[in-house]
């Protein structure tokens, strides 16, 4: 499976998950959704990884503790994100979620020693300004109402 196809798949799935979580409302508890999401994700990876790499699945033997910790963090991230989708408008949860690359940028420099490019700093600065303007905890559209005059007339 080409990398571009995998990137397209993750983009579409991440873009739609919030909508589907909202559509279920209180009919399906969020913990049930998360359980099935992680089960299906594991099944998908069990099938997709050998097919994309041409190698059989490998399970950790010497680093089970690290694997469990990372798995727990990923499961917690998915669960918190999905739960947030039930509490606030989707756009607000996504605005907060979109700040995650900023922390990846910082943590990769600290823990992995990856150099920070000036263009990344500029891009994330612009992104943070966008988050501030979006005001995800407020009404979310104060900038538009205050600075953009709409003149829409219905015939």
pLDDT (tens digit, 9 = 90+) per residue, 33-71? 888 888 988 898 889 889 888 888 887 788 888 888 998
In whole angstroms, how far apart are CA 4 and each of 85, 124, 136? 27, 24, 31
pLDDT at 95 over 60: yes
| Burial status of residue 93 (CB atoms within 10 A of its CB: 0-12, 13-18, 19 or more) | buried
pLDDT at 130 over 80: no
Q: What is the mean pLDDT of residues 112-127?
A: 83
Mean pLDDT across the chain, nearest whole number? Answer: 78
Q: What is the pLDDT of residue 72?
A: 92
- Residue 30 to residue 19: CA distance in whole angstroms: 13
Q: What is the pLDDT of residue 105?
A: 80
Q: What is the pLDDT of residue 23?
A: 82
When mean pLDDT is compared across 54-68, 71-85, 122-136, the lowest value belongs to: 122-136
């Amino acid at each position: 499976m080409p990398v571009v196809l995998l990137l397209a798949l993750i983009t579409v799935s991440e873009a739609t998950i919030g909508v589907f979580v909202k559509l279920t409302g209180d009919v399906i508890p969020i913990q049930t959704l998360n359980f099935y999401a992680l089960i299906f994700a594991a099944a998908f990876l069990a099938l997709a990884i050998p097919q994309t790499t041409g190698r059989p699945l490998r399970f950790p033997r010497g680093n089970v503790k690290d694997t469990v910790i990372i798995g727990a963090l990923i499961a917690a991230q998915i669960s918190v994100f999905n739960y947030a989708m039930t509490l606030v408008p989707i756009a607000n949860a996504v605005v907060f979620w979109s700040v995650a690359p900023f922390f990846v940028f910082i943590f990769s420099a600290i823990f992995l020693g990856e150099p920070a490019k000036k263009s990344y700093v500029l891009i994330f600065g612009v992104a943070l300004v966008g988050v501030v303007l979006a005001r995800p905890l407020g009404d979310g559209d104060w900038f538009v109402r205050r600075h953009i005059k709409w003149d829409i007339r219905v015939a």
